[in-house]
């Protein structure tokens, strides 16, 4: 994994890559700099936050269930 990261860093740090238009991401930055783009970005961030909050709650619920099962098993011994 480290070798692959090093390879990608070397590849995308080279002058030959940096001079390409796609590397600069001009269109994406321009889109995000518009009011519409910022609004879309905020909506996407809100969706992401909602997803990760729900995921965190599910994980906490699973952990709580595991602890309750463990507690019940030890209580019945």
Residue 41: what pLDDT?
75
- Whether 11 and 17 have beta carbons less than 8 Å apart is answered as yes
Q: The domain containing residue 23 runs over which residues?
A: 10-75
Is 31:37 a contact under the CB 8 Å cutoff?
yes
Query: Could you identify the residue written with the tokens 């860093």?
Result: 9
- pTM, rounded to two decimals: 0.43
Q: What pLDDT, on the 0 to 100 scale, is given for residue 24?
A: 63
User: Is residue 59, in this structure, part of any structural domain at all?
Assistant: yes
pLDDT confidence bin for 20, thresholds 50/70/90: confident
- Tokens, residue 37: 């783009």
Inside any domain, residue 2: no
Q: Is residue 3 part of a domain?
A: no
Domain annotation covers residue 1? no
Q: For residue 44, what pLDDT is reported?
A: 82
In sequence order, the 6+-apart residues with CB closer than 8 A to the CB of 31 are 37
pLDDT for 56 beyond 80: yes
């Amino acid at each position: 994994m480290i070798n692959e990261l090093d390879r990608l860093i070397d590849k995308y740090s080279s002058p030959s890559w940096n001079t390409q238009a796609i590397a600069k991401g001009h269109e994406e930055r321009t889109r995000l700099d518009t009011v519409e783009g910022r609004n879309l970005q905020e909506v996407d961030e809100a969706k992401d936050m909602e997803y990760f909050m729900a995921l965190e709650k599910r994980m906490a619920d699973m952990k709580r269930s595991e602890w309750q099962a463990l507690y019940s098993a030890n209580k019945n011994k």
